[in-house]
Amino acid sequence: MTHPRPQRTRAQEEAAEWLARLGDYPISTQTVREFRDWRDDPANDAAYEEAEAFWDANGQVAADPEIMRMTEEALRRRRRSWRDWLRLPSVRVTLVAATLLVAGLGVILASRMFPTYSTAPGELRVVRLEDGSRIHLNVDSQVRVRFTRGERRLTLAKGEAYFDVAHDAARPFVVHADGASVRALGTKFDVRRQDGAIQVTLLEGRVRVQQSGAPQAWTLAPNQKLLLSASRRAEPVAADAAQSTSWTTGRLTFHETPLAEAVAEVNRYGKDRVALGEDALKSRRVTGYFDVGDTEAFVKGVAMILELDAGPVRDGVITLRSRPAPGA
């Protein structure tokens, strides 16, 4: 006797598609916004949570077989589309020529065993690692992964990454960035490289941060951050970790943030850049949330909130200036 297949809901099918779509290749900031908008629907959000829970369980925990079927079908469709592309004659010729240039099989094996994940400007990426951990790569970032029997070692070569670490007491999870190391067990944290400094922000759990050649180490608690810089003394300080990592949800969140900092953050994602016409504007405070990559909405919102004038786009730059006094 066969049991009837449970009826799929539209939300479950779309959740499976999103799970496959987000985990394959770098995605644009526009795609991240579309995903966030889709997930704003409670039914969609619940369906995605269910599908993602199955993925994280790796099949070891009992899960709805229909969720398994839909997720695997979505993943197969994406892999099939990649294989179809490879079948194109011109692609095959190019791949054969490229293969002949490979120095040896060891290069290929090394790239598979110790992969590197990257994003270009304007791209974001979610990477699921073999141990169940996840990495959210911000724009223009790169992470090298090297898992061994005794350690999970990652190197943030540039940019910013948010790490959602699967617990494994036998293999510490250590992120290296420009002489600093961040050691974690079952936690969520963000590491950012910028202007020669390293910033670590902790959301959940505990991390231990150490700088090469320094005897001191710092242990962070949730909602703390640590800035390692040659120009200032390192000390853990309070932070709004959810705000600092809001980019992973497709939104940038600011709360009483100096305008200069908000502009610098917005400029990481958009095609056009924002400039401040006067130094006095740098310390003005802005509160609000804005879609990642939507520079126009940010400019309009800030101009309205702070009563500023926004000039037209010139050579890819939008300049904000103080509004002249009435009658001036």
Q: Are 165 and 183 contacting, i.e. CB atoms less than 8 angstroms apart?
A: no
Helix axes 42-57, 10-24, angle to 10 degrees: 60
| Residue reference for tokens 């242990």 | 219
Give me the DSSP letters along 130-155: TTS-EEEE-TT-EEEEEE-SS-EEEE
Residue-by-residue pLDDT tens, the chain, 328 positions = 455 545 568 877 787 777 766 665 566 777 777 777 887 888 888 888 777 766 655 443 334 455 555 555 565 555 555 455 445 555 444 544 444 444 444 444 444 568 999 999 989 999 989 898 999 999 999 999 999 999 999 999 999 999 999 989 899 999 999 999 999 977 999 999 988 899 999 999 999 999 887 788 999 999 999 999 888 888 999 999 999 999 998 889 999 999 999 999 999 998 899 999 999 999 999 999 898 989 999 999 999 999 999 999 999 999 999 988 776 5
**SS3 (DSSP) at 5:** coil
Give me the DSSP letters along 22-46: HHHS-EEHHHHHHHHHHHTSHHHHH
- Whole-prediction pTM: 0.72
Largest CA distance in the chain: 86
Enumerate the β-bridge partners of residue 289.
Answer: 253
Within a 13 Å sphere around the CA of 76, how many CA atoms are in the beta-carbon half?
6
State the alpha helices, DSSP H only, in the chain. Answer: 10-24, 29-39, 42-57, 65-86, 89-100, 105-113, 241-244, 259-266, 295-306
Q: Are 173 and 205 contacting, i.e. CB atoms less than 8 angstroms apart?
A: no
Q: Is 244 exposed, middle or buried (0-12, 13-18, 19+ CB in 10 A)?
A: buried
